[in-house]
Amino acid sequence: MISVNQLTQLACEMCSLVEAGESVGNTSGDNNMSVVACTLLNNMISDLNSKNYIVMQNATIDVPCRRLTWFVQGGDEERNAIDMYPPETINDVARSFGNRFIPLQPGDPMAISMTNCIGIPHTWTYSRELEDYEIEGVTRQRLVGKLELDGRASGTIRIFYNRPLPKYTLQDTIYLSDLYNNMLLQGLCYNLCIYYKLTDYKPIFETEFEKAKAAIKRGNVTARMLQRNGAKFGDYRDMYAAALSPDATF
């Protein structure tokens, strides 16, 4: 774990924006540099999380297997929507099959629209969109998520997604594993170089940032060595399911 103040201070020193030991808060512009660094840090963490670098945020949710599954903050009884902020991306979807889950394949909306959508689903697609809604006679807009399957079946589906990280302030502590500290530090230095146009330092921190991301990615892949396309540990029931849905991948 590392505090946001520590991270921004060290990054500004490494970029020579302040002298070693000089507080970022003592720079001109009412702590403008620290505010800029905190904003860049939040944007970078959100981007890294959406690209699956921060595996600590992986989460799942089980819901009934429906043709359309909606994500709406505050809920929506008419559509039986999941009451949560729409995930930025969905990593995987699997449908229940006995006491296990079979992964579905990602697809695109056009491919799904070409199917009759009355059989067992084997493809999914996810999108986010803005919609109008009315509250107390005032029309407003909200962001909703839509998970679409190319079929429906009894049972449940398991949705794999990344929980969003909080928006950090300068007084906060980043409660992530220390393994991520170097990636966050190098990435913040790189983004500070872009913002302040530090052309001499930019290539150095860009290279170090890519190395740090590659190291994290290798660790993530090693922890998921059993992953592959299709189901794991199939059994005799797959023949029955394949007969009901011949195009499904098992």
Question: Out of 2-16, 26-40, 88-102, which region has the weakest mean confidence (pLDDT)?
Answer: 26-40
Tens of pLDDT, residue by residue over 102-151, are 999 999 888 888 888 888 898 999 999 999 988 888 999 999 999 999 98
CA angle 219, 222, 228 (to 5 degrees): 130
Specify the range with the lowest mean pLDDT, choosing from 127-131, 158-162, 240-244.
240-244
How far, CA to CA in Å, does 195 sit from each of 15, 81, 227? Answer: 11, 40, 39
Contact status, residue 194 vs residue 202, Cβ threshold 8 Å: yes
Mean of all residue pLDDT scores within the chain: 85
pLDDT score of 165: 86
The answer, yes or no, to whether residue 232 has pLDDT greater than 50, is: no
Tokens representing 141? 């807009």
pLDDT above 80 for 227: no
pLDDT at 247: 45
Residue 243, pLDDT above cutoff 60: no
Q: Is 236 helix (H, G, I), strand (E, B) or coil?
A: coil
d(CA 70, CA 86): 8
Q: Is 34 exposed, middle or buried (0-12, 13-18, 19+ CB in 10 A)?
A: buried
Whether 228 shows a pLDDT value over 60: the answer reads: no
- pLDDT for residue 224: 54
Lowest mean pLDDT among 170-179, 183-192, 233-242: 233-242
pLDDT attached to residue 200: 94
Given a cut of 80, is residue 80 above it in pLDDT?
Answer: yes
Q: What's the rounded Cα separation, in Å, for the pair 132 and 42?
A: 28
Query: CB atoms < 10 A from the CB of 15, how many?
Result: 22
What is the pLDDT, as a whole number, of residue 250? Answer: 40
Which residues does 8 contact at the CB level (< 8 Å), separation at least 6?
Answer: 24, 34, 37, 38, 41, 170, 188
User: Which element (helix H / strand E) includes 147?
Assistant: strand 138-149
Q: How confident is the model at residue 57 (pLDDT cuts 50, 70, 90)?
A: confident
Which pLDDT belongs to residue 131?
93
